[in-house]
């Protein structure tokens, strides 16, 4: 190969990912410095997953759609609708855990397919379609059941309380008792999905086509990519992930509630963006997005640990989001300026990109 | 292809056009702007569906529904505007949309891409992000992609418009090689010399109609041009340059000292007098476009002082330049020039509207009158003034943008590559227009990659190399030879 220039200019996608990872490490390091007692425990780290698996799963879905140059703001409402439907079904007396899983996935896919069809094949603005999807899901949710609904089906309660125990990663509490690390099934689902989807986006034809469509859909069409089908696929997949997130949600909390997962779509968008996905499409990373979400969650944990009024969580999250975005665009802008290249040391360059 | 028809709302783009391509030949497709070349190509490649007619490959009737269909039948296309994805790597751009497998083998793809780039002598690395390559290299990559698809039919739509001579030669040897392998090549270009250098046969279209198919050796260049234009070509040499006279005054209309911009031009001095036509020339990437962009503040100005009509002025934004009476027709028509979805009318009145202020909109009648006047006087071919500008051909879009600036009655007009990718007839029209404007006292800066065009129109040429001005030529020095020598680095410096 060419040996004239050894340092490869890192692609925007990887650069943004590096920034996201660095920000998360810094943020978590800061948290450890401030509250070593709590943040040094493995449990605290895994609790980020245990308690927020649905949000992380939604972040994945949104990143996929955003990489394709779209947006889906219905995911939070669909997730909420799924939790309520599952709760009602499980409490109906005829329900089973397997059936509720299918129900969750079915509802998610139904929304994804419908919205994807309207957006990809009828070429309607994704924002408007998914906004209407959000209203629809919200309306259905309150129509089906208004009050909180606890699921009491024994098999389900068993699943809800199930925890994977990792004895060698525990902590000793204040009383001197050893508490092993507990991981919820939702965490496993979220981690598995991260791995699976990251592979999908990096190595599958669908994933690469989606990057091309997000980068320049006209070119993608000329390159022989089925743009409509690819876009449709991204929304369908995002819908499916909303279904999964809904089931994980109710599996964690064990109850259907009108307020379930409300506002998650915005948090997921924020997480994706902090994680290095660009709203303009074509740039993003499926490992980066959950890291972005974790950054947001760490901030929330920090604020909670500091004992400040929880209203401040939103304020601080908002401000930090703004700072991150400005930081990202400043870095990209600096790169765009002629004669400036962020030359990374060889060991930091992404594998396979060393020239 | 036989009897192809295609209509768009209001315009019949193709009427009973026939086109035959034999294996192992280079077939030039010629015609003026709006003759229907691009439309015909898009029908051939499945971007548009034909309204009627037949397409046959190897005697088999075929109906393309999409570009994928066409690809599957071995029709490879390289479009005039580069149609690759800037966010992906070079290797991916060469192979995406082609794999049969559900998963991508990155290592094999990179190796194959490296081999292919190497064999074609393209200076790019497979892992490089496409947006970091120059336009010429992107074009070569698009060609490499088409070649690698083992296509039977290769369509090259203006492949040479962004290449320099060396690259053109490389491309031609590549085309000959493919020809010997039995690939049929459709070659669209506006460069007549290139047509005769490489083509075996020529098909001429005019106004969406089939004019004829000729052996290249039997059709003299002069006849080809008259067939394309449908009239004898106006004698170009009859155009008379305007030499600046003392009456125009000694104070330059525009004067810059030490101007530099964020796009990376070295600080330069520049002045233009009333009614003068001057040009910036140099190779691609020499900084000629960046210089005029700095004058118009299209890139962020980082230093220098400017004087307009002898008075100190500060131009920090294009709007300041516009208010002073400077117009700028950008090089990138699609990206910086037209607003694709707006009508021709709205595109034409845009600049004047901005100057007028958004709170004082023109009445529809006024706008209509403005637009109609220029559609008529510049002979813009459009169904009506309400047609979206994106459905016009390139040359007509260019004329509409020119009209946009003429409407503001600028005192100083910058035209960056106004003639690129448009046909001979329109080129001559635009050159004439430039000279006419100069006659009326408008100062014009004209940039073109065709030196003979610059020499015909400009009375002063500023030569650039490596982002700085290396020479200034006037009078008898304005010959192709001298200009070439200065560009290449002769001793003709100021």
pLDDT band at B245 (very low <50, low <70, confident <90, very high): low
Q: A278: domain CATH number?
A: 1.10.3470
User: Does A352 sit within 8 Å of B97, measured CB to CB?
Assistant: no
Helix then strand then coil, % of chain A, to nearest 5: 70, 5, 25
Predicted local distance difference test score (pLDDT) of residue B12: 56
Which stretch, A13-27, A75-89, B148-162, B357-371, has highest mean pLDDT?
Answer: A75-89
Cβ contacts of B271 within 8 Å, gap of 6 or more: B252, B254, B255, B256
Which of residues B149 and A242 earns the better pLDDT score? Answer: A242
Predicted local distance difference test score (pLDDT) of residue A113: 96
Distance (Å) from the alpha carbon of A204 to chain B's nearest alpha carbon: 4
Which of residues B484 and B301 earns the better pLDDT score? Answer: B301
Q: Is B186 helix (H, G, I), strand (E, B) or coil?
A: strand
The CA-atom distances, in angstroms, between B479 and each of B240, B286, B454, B458, B486 are 15, 20, 10, 11, 11
Which of residues B193 and A128 earns the better pLDDT score? Answer: A128
Given its phi and psi angles, is residue B249 left (phi above 0), alpha (psi -120 to 50 degrees) or beta? left
DSSP secondary structure letter of residue B59: T
**CB-based contact (8 Å) between B84 and chain A?**
yes
pLDDT tens-place string over residues B378-420: 888 888 888 888 888 778 888 888 888 888 888 888 888 888 7
pLDDT at A338 over 50: no
pLDDT band at B248 (very low <50, low <70, confident <90, very high): low
Q: Is residue A355 part of a domain?
A: no
Predicted local distance difference test score (pLDDT) of residue A6: 43
Which of residues A206 and B287 earns the better pLDDT score? Answer: A206
Predicted local distance difference test score (pLDDT) of residue B492: 41
Which stretch, A69-83, B52-66, B94-108, B111-125, has highest mean pLDDT?
Answer: A69-83
Predicted local distance difference test score (pLDDT) of residue A200: 92
Q: What angle do CA A93, A94, A95 make, to 5 degrees?
A: 95
pLDDT band at A82 (very low <50, low <70, confident <90, very high): very high
Predicted local distance difference test score (pLDDT) of residue A74: 95
pLDDT band at B494 (very low <50, low <70, confident <90, very high): very low
ipTM computed for the complex: 0.75
Burial of residue A192, with CB atoms counted within 10 A of its CB: 0-12 exposed, 13-18 middle, 19 or more buried = exposed
pLDDT at B11 over 50: no
Q: What angle do CA B97, B100, B103 make, to 5 degrees?
A: 85
**Which residues of chain B lie closer than 8 angstroms to A218, CB-CB?**
83
User: What number is the average pLDDT over the span A144-149?
Assistant: 87
Contact criterion met (CB below 8 Å) for B415 and B401: no
Which string of DSSP letters, residue by residue, matches A122-177? S---HHHHHHHHHHHHHHHHHHH--S-EE---HHHHHHHH--EEEEEEEEE-TTS-
**CB-based contact (8 Å) between B65 and chain A?**
no
User: What number is the average pLDDT over the span A9-23?
Assistant: 81
pLDDT at B240 over 60: no
Mark out chain A residues that contact chain B at CB-CB < 8 A. Answer: 1-2, 8-9, 11-13, 203-206, 208-209, 211-212, 214-216, 218-226, 282-283, 337-339, 352-353, 355
pLDDT at B491 over 60: no
Mean pLDDT score of chain B: 79
Mean pLDDT score of chain A: 85
Q: Show the domain range for A70.
A: 13-336
Contact criterion met (CB below 8 Å) for B306 and B256: yes
Query: What CA–CA distance (Å, rounded) separates A96 from A161?
Result: 17
Predicted local distance difference test score (pLDDT) of residue A354: 36
pLDDT at A70 over 60: yes
Q: Is residue A86 part of a domain?
A: yes
Q: Taking the model in full, what pTM does it have?
A: 0.70
**Tokens 């943020």 sit at which residue?**
A27
Predicted local distance difference test score (pLDDT) of residue B230: 62
**CB-based contact (8 Å) between B390 and chain A?**
no
pLDDT at B3 over 50: no
Predicted local distance difference test score (pLDDT) of residue B13: 67
- The class of domain B247-488 in CATH terms is alpha beta
Q: Find, in chain A, the residue whose alpha carbon is nearest to that of B92.
A: A208
Predicted local distance difference test score (pLDDT) of residue B456: 80
Q: Is residue A2 part of a domain?
A: no
Which of residues B417 and B233 earns the better pLDDT score? Answer: B417
Q: Is B460 helix (H, G, I), strand (E, B) or coil?
A: strand
Distance (Å) from the alpha carbon of B75 to chain A's nearest alpha carbon: 11
**Which residues of chain B lie closer than 8 angstroms to A9, CB-CB?**
128-129, 132
Which stretch, A281-295, B205-219, B369-383, B449-463, has highest mean pLDDT?
Answer: A281-295
pLDDT at A163 over 70: yes
User: Does A2 sit within 8 Å of B264, measured CB to CB?
Assistant: no
A interface test, pick of B88, B106, B120, B135 with most A CB neighbours within 10 Å = B88
pLDDT at A339 over 70: no
Among residues of chain B, what percentage have pLDDT more than 90?
0
pLDDT band at A254 (very low <50, low <70, confident <90, very high): confident
pLDDT at A109 over 90: yes
User: Does A224 sit within 8 Å of B97, measured CB to CB?
Assistant: yes
Q: Is residue A106 part of a domain?
A: yes
Provide the residue ranges of all domains of chain B, joining segments of one domain with +. Answer: 2-231, 247-488
Q: Find, in chain A, the residue whose alpha carbon is nearest to that of B109.
A: A203
Does domain B2-231 correspond to CATH entry 3.50.50.60? no
- Domains B2-231 and B247-488 are alike in CATH topology: yes
B443-447/B277-281 β-pairing: parallel
User: What number is the average pLDDT over the span B127-143?
Assistant: 81
pLDDT at B35 over 80: no
pLDDT at B360 over 80: no
The CA-atom distances, in angstroms, between A340 and each of A343, B130, B309 are 9, 17, 37
Which of residues A26 and B121 earns the better pLDDT score? Answer: A26
DSSP secondary structure letter of residue B368: H
Which of residues A9 and A182 earns the better pLDDT score? Answer: A182
Which stretch, A22-26, A335-339, B138-142, has highest mean pLDDT?
Answer: A22-26
Contact criterion met (CB below 8 Å) for B345 and B392: no
Q: Is residue A1 part of a domain?
A: no
pLDDT at B260 over 80: yes
User: Does A224 sit within 8 Å of B67, measured CB to CB?
Assistant: yes
Give the count of domains, chain A: 1
Q: Is residue A346 part of a domain?
A: no
Lowest mean pLDDT among A23-37, A220-234, B238-252: B238-252
Other CB atoms within 10 A of residue A172 CB = 10
User: What number is the average pLDDT over the span B218-228?
Assistant: 74
Report chain A's terminal Cα–Cα distance, integer Å: 8
């Amino acid at each position: 190969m060419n040996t004239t220039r050894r340092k490869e200019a890192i692609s925007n996608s990887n650069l943004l990912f590096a920034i996201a990872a660095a920000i998360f490490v810094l943020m978590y390091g800061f948290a450890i410095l401030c509250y070593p007692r709590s943040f040094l425990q493995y449990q605290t780290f895994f609790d980020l997953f245990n308690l927020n698996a649905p949000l992380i799963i939604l972040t994945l879905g949104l990143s996929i759609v955003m990489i394709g140059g779209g947006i889906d703001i219905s995911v939070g409402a669909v997730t909420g609708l799924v939790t309520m439907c599952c709760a009602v079904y499980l409490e109906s007396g005829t329900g089973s855990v397997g059936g509720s899983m299918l129900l969750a996935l079915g509802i998610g896919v139904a929304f994804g397919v419908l919205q994807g069809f309207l957006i990809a094949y009828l070429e309607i603005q994704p924002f408007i379609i998914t906004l209407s999807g959000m209203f629809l899901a919200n309306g259905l949710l309150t129509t089906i059941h208004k009050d909180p609904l606890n699921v009491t089906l024994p098999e389900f309660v068993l699943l809800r309380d199930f925890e994977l125990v990792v004895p060698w990663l525990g902590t000793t509490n204040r009383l001197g008792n050893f508490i092993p690390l507990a991981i919820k099934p939702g965490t496993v689902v979220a981690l598995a999905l991260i791995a699976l989807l990251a592979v999908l986006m990096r190595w599958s034809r669908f994933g690469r086509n989606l990057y091309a469509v997000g980068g320049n859909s006209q070119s993608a069409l000329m390159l022989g990519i089925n743009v409509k089908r690819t876009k449709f696929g991204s929304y369908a997949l995002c819908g499916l992930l909303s279904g999964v997130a809904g089931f994980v949600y109710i599996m964690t909390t064990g109850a259907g509630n009108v307020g379930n997962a409300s506002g998650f779509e915005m948090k997921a968008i924020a997480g994706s963006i902090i994680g290095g996905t660009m709203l303009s499409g074509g740039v993003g990373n499926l490992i980066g997005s959950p890291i972005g979400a974790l950054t947001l969650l760490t901030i929330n944990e920090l604020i909670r640990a500091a004992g400040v009024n929880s209203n401040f969580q939103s304020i601080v999250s908002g401000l930090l989001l703004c700072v991150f975005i400005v930081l990202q665009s400043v870095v990209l802008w600096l790169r765009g300026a002629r004669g400036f290249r962020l030359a990374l040391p060889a060991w930091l360059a992404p594998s396979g990109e060393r020239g | 292809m036989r009897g192809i028809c295609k209509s768009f709302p209001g315009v019949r783009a193709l009427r009973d056009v026939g086109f035959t391509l034999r294996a192992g030949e280079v077939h030039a497709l010629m015609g003026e702007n709006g003759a229907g070349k691009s439309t015909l190509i898009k029908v051939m490649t499945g971007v548009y569906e034909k309204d009627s007619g037949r397409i046959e490959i190897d005697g088999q009737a075929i109906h393309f529904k999409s570009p994928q269909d066409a690809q599957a039948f071995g029709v490879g296309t390289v479009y005039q505007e580069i149609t690759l994805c800037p966010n992906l790597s070079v290797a991916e751009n060469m192979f995406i949309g082609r794999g049969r497998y559900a998963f991508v083998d990155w290592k094999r793809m990179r190796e194959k891409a490296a081999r292919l780039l190497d064999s074609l002598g393209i200076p790019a690395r497979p892992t490089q992000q496409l947006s970091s390559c120059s336009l010429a290299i992107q074009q070569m990559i698009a060609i490499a992609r088409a070649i690698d698809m083992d296509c039977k039919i290769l369509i090259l739509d203006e492949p040479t418009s962004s290449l320099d001579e060396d690259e053109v030669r490389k491309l031609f040897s590549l085309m000959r090689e493919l020809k010997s392998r039995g690939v049929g090549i459709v070659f669209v270009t506006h460069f007549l010399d290139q047509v005769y250098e490489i083509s075996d046969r020529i098909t001429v279209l005019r106004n969406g109609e089939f004019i004829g198919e000729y052996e290249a050796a039997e059709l003299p260049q002069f006849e080809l041009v008259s067939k394309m234009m449908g009239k004898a070509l106006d004698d170009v040499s009859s155009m008379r340059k305007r030499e600046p006279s003392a009456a125009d005054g000694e104070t330059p209309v525009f004067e810059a000292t030490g101007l530099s911009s964020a796009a990376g031009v070295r600080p330069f001095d520049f002045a233009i007098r009333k009614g003068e036509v001057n040009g910036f020339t140099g190779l691609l990437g020499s900084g000629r476009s960046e210089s005029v962009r700095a004058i118009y503040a299209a890139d962020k100005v980082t230093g220098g002082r400017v004087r307009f009509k002898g008075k100190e002025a500060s131009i920090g934004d294009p709007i300041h330049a516009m208010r002073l009476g400077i117009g700028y027709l950008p090089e990138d028509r699609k990206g910086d020039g037209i607003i694709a979805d707006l009508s021709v009318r709205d595109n034409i009145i845009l600049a004047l509207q901005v100057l007028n202020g958004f709170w004082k909109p023109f009445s529809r009648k006024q706008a209509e009158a403005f637009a109609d006047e220029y559609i008529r006087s510049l002979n813009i071919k459009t169904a009506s003034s309400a047609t979206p500008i994106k459905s016009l051909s390139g040359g007509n879009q260019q004329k509409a943008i020119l009209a946009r600036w003429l409407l503001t009655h600028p005192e100083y007009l910058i035209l960056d590559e106004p003639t690129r990718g448009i046909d001979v007839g329109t080129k001559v029209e635009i050159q004439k227009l430039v000279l006419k404007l100069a006659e009326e006292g408008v100062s014009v800066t004209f940039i073109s990659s065709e030196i003979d065009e610059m020499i015909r129109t400009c009375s002063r040429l500023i030569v650039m190399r490596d982002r700085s001005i290396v020479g200034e030529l006037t009078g008898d020095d304005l010959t192709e030879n001298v200009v070439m020598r200065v560009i290449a680095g002769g001793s003709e410096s100021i």
